[in-house]
Amino acid sequence: MNDILPEQTATWRYLESVLIEIAASYGYDEIRLPLLEHTELFARSIGEVTDIVEKEMYTFLDRNDESLTLRPEATAGMVRAGITNGLLHNQKQKLWTTGPMFRYEKPQKGRYRQFHQFDVEALGYEGPDIDAELIIMSARIWERLGISRLKLEINSLGMPESRTRYRESLVDYFSGVKSELDQDSIRRLEQNPLRILDSKNPEMQGIIEAAPVMIDYLDDASAEHFDRLKTLLSAANIEFTLNPRLVRGLDYYNRTVFEWVTDALGSQGAVCSGGRYDGLVEKLGGRTTPAIGWAMGIERFVALYEVCGGETPSAAADVYLVAVGDAAEQTAFSIAEQLRDELPGSRVELNLGGGSFKSQMKRADKSGAEFALVLGEQELAASQIGVKPLRSGDEQTSVAMDALVATLREKFASA
C-alpha cells in the first residue's frame, strides 16, 4: 500500500481530470461508493472459485459479527448501488467512479495491495454498439494523452448456455492432462474449469495454450454480437487482435471481454480491462439488466503516461514572494492575495517565517517557482517590485506595483 507523494499527485490529478472529462463527454456521471461491502456481495458476483475471492480479499468481522470486505473492484458495488437506489429499473445508466481497491497480492512493480481504478459502467445496454463505444472512449484517452504502446485484445465468452458445452470440453481436456496440473487447477477442474485459463503459473501456460477455446463454442446470437462489435471497431479505425484465451479473472463476464495491454511496463501489462456482465444485476437481486464496463488501473496508467513522455501541465503562474522588513512583509500579504484573485489557477507562495534576503531567495529557488517577486524597503518606497527569473539566467527587472498583474500575465502567457 503506497503513499502517493506530492511529486506524483499533480500528475495523478491531471490524468484523473482527463478521464473525468472524457467520460463526461460520452454522457457518464459520477457515483461515489463505499469502500466496504458485505463479503457475500463479492463472493456471489466475482465468484467463490476465483483468485480474488479465494486468496486476495481483505475480509473481517465487524463488531456485530457481520463479514465485511474492502472492495477488490468496483463493478459489484456499482451494481449493488444501482439496485438498492432503484437506478436500474426501466432506466439506463452510464456511471463512473474512482478510488482505491484492495487485493492481497504479491506486491511488485505495477501490482499493489491498495491500488486505484477509474471505472466506467453502462447499465441497461445490450450492445454491441455500447461495447464499441466504451472501447472507442478508452482509445480516445490514449489518443488525447499521446499514449502509445498499447494493444487491444478482445474475445467473446458467449452466453452461460453456450458455455456449458465449452465447460464440458474443458473438463475433458484438462482431465486428460491432470497429472501436469498444479494444485489450484486440480481443485478448479471440478468447481470452475474456466478459471484454470487465467492461472498466472508459468508452468501451466503450455497446457493452457493447447486448451479448447470458447470462440469455437459461441452461440449464434453471441457470434453475431461479436461480429458487429468488430465491424464497429474497424469502422472507427481501432486496431484489435482476437485473443481466444482472454477470459478475465472474474466469473460474471459474458460475451464481450477486452484488455488494453502494453509491453512497456514489464510483466504487469494490463492497463485497462473490461467486459459485459448481462447476468450480474439479476444474480444480485435486481431485474435482468444487460451491462458492460471497464476499469483502468491508475498506477499502471500513470506509469505508462510517463514512459510515453507525458508531462503534467504546470500552474498558470508560479511565483514566490520574497519580502524583507516588517513593512514589506505586510504589503507582500496583500500583493499575494491580489495575485490569487486576479490570476486564478496560479501558484503564489509567500515567504513565511522571515529570514535574510539570501535565505528567502534560496527557499524561492527550492519551491520550484518560475519567478521570485522581491519586495524590500527600497522597492516599497518606489512602489515597485523586483521580478527575478529563477529558471533562466535572465536579469531581475523592476516593475511598477500596479503593473505587476499585467506583467505576470504576459510572462506566463508566453511561457
Which of 94, 300, 347, 388 is close enough to bind ligand ATP by CB under 6 A? 300
Beta bridge mates, 37 = 69
Give the H/E segment covering residue 223.
helix 220-235
- Is residue 249 involved in binding ligand ATP (CB under 6 A)? yes
Q: 350 with 332: CB under 8 angstroms?
A: yes
Please report how close the Cβ of residue 190 comes to ligand ATP at its closest, in angstroms: 23
Give the one residue of 71, 103, 225, 276 binding ligand ATP; rule: CB under 6 A: 103
Residue 45: CB minimum distance to ligand ATP, A: 12
Spatial distance between the Cα atoms of 45 and 248, rounded to a whole number of angstroms? 14
Cβ neighbours of residue 413 closer than 8 Å, sequence gap 6 or more? none
Q: Is 78 in the site for ligand ATP (CB under 6 A)?
A: no
In this structure, is the dihedral angle defined by the CA atoms of residues 181, 185, 56 and 9, taken in order, positive or negative?
A: positive
CB of 38 to ligand ATP, least distance (A): 19
Indicate which single residue of 22, 28, 45, 73 sits in contact with ligand ATP (rule: CB under 6 A).
Answer: 73
252 with 283: CB under 8 angstroms?
Answer: yes
Q: Is 153 in the site for ligand ATP (CB under 6 A)?
A: no
Q: Give residue number: closest CB to ligand ATP.
A: 297
- Residue closer to ligand ATP by CB (options 168, 263) is 263
Q: How far apart are CA 54 and CA 252, in angstroms?
A: 16
Q: Under rule CB under 6 A, which residues in 251-270 are in contact with ligand ATP? A: 268, 270
In the chain, helix, strand, coil percent, each to 5?
45, 20, 35
Give CA–CA dist 382/7, Å, rounded.
Answer: 39
Member of 273, 289, 360, 384 binding ligand ATP (CB under 6 A): 273
Q: Kindly write down the DSSP assignment for every residue of 84-113, as one continuous string.
A: HTT-STT--EEEEEEEEEE-----BTTB-S
Compute the least distance from the CB of residue 115 to ligand ATP, in Å: 3
Smallest gap from Cβ 119 to ligand ATP, in A, equals 8
CB closer to ligand ATP, 259 vs 379:
259
Say whether residue 16 binds ligand ATP (CB under 6 A).
no
Task: Please report which helix (H) or strand (E) contains residue 10, including its range.
Answer: helix 6-25
Give phi and psi for 382, each to the nearest 5: -95, 5
Of the candidate residues 147, 207, 271, 361, the single one contacting ligand ATP (CB under 6 A) = 271
Is residue 157 a contact residue for ligand ATP (CB under 6 A)? no
Q: What is the residue whose three cell numbers read 524597503? A: 377
Q: Write down the H helix ranges in 63-218.
A: 75-84, 129-145, 160-176, 183-191, 205-209
**Contact between 272 and ligand ATP per CB under 6 A:** yes
Under the binding rule (CB under 6 A), the answer on residue 276 touching ligand ATP is no
Using CB under 6 A, pick the residue from 16, 54, 105, 349 that binds ligand ATP.
Answer: 105
Q: Which residues are at the interface with ligand ATP (CB under 6 A)?
A: 73, 103, 105, 110-112, 115, 117, 249, 268, 270-273, 295, 297, 299-300
